[in-house]
Amino acid sequence: MARYWLLKSEPSVFSIDDLRRAPRQTTSWEGVRNYQARNFLRDDMQVGDQALFYHSNVTPAGIAGIVEVVRAGYPDHTAFDPESRYYDVKSDPARPTWFMVDVRLVRVFPRLITLDELKRTPGLETMLVIRRGMRLSVQPVTESEWHVVLALAGGEPALA
C-alpha cells in the first residue's frame, strides 16, 4: 500500500526545475539532518510512494509538483564526505546515522499551490505543513489530503 509524503526543498538549493533537468529526472534526497525525518526516510518510505515537492524558504512557498520514490532508504553518503555541506563528523559509515531515498519526477504542477492557498482550503485544516512552526522536512500526508491537493492542482496532469 503506497503512502503519501511531503518533501521540502529550498529552491535556491534544489528546485523542481533542477529535478526536471536532472539525469532520468531522478535525484537522491540527500542532506536530511533531523531524526524524525530520518526515521521516515529510513523506515517508512517505500518504492512507489509518492510525495509532494514543496518549495520552502521562498516567497511564495508552496507545492510545485509530485515525485515518486524509486529507491527506498539507504545511507546518506554525503554525511561521510568532509567536502560536503552535509558532512557530519559524528556519522560512522559502519553505523550510518543519516539516510536518503531516491525520487523521480512525476509531474510539475501548472502553477504553484501556495501555502496560503493550502491554509484556506477545506479538507486541509490538519495538514502538517500548514502548522505554525512546523519545520519537519519529510512529512506524511494523508490520502484525503493528497486528493484534495491534487484537485487544487487541477486539470490534466502537466507531465514532466
Partner DNA sequence: GCCAACGTTGGC
The site for DNA (CB under 7 A) is made up of: 8, 10, 33-36, 56-61, 90, 115-116, 129, 132-137
Q: Which of 98, 103, 87, 95 is nearest to 52 (CA)?
A: 103
By C-beta, is 136 or 148 nearer to DNA?
136
Q: Which of 33, 40, 46, 38 is nearest to 1 (CA)?
A: 46
CB of 75 to DNA, least distance (A): 18
What lies within 8 Å, CB to CB, of 92 at 6+ separation is none
* Amino acid found at 160: A
Phi, psi for 95 (deg, rounded to 5): -140, 75
CB of 87 to DNA, least distance (A): 12
Count CA within 13 A, CB hemisphere, residue 113.
24
- CA-to-CA distance for 144 and 134, rounded, in angstroms? 20
By C-beta, is 21 or 135 nearer to DNA?
135
By C-beta, is 59 or 159 nearer to DNA?
59
CB of 85 to DNA, least distance (A): 10
By C-beta, is 2 or 36 nearer to DNA?
36
CB of 23 to DNA, least distance (A): 25
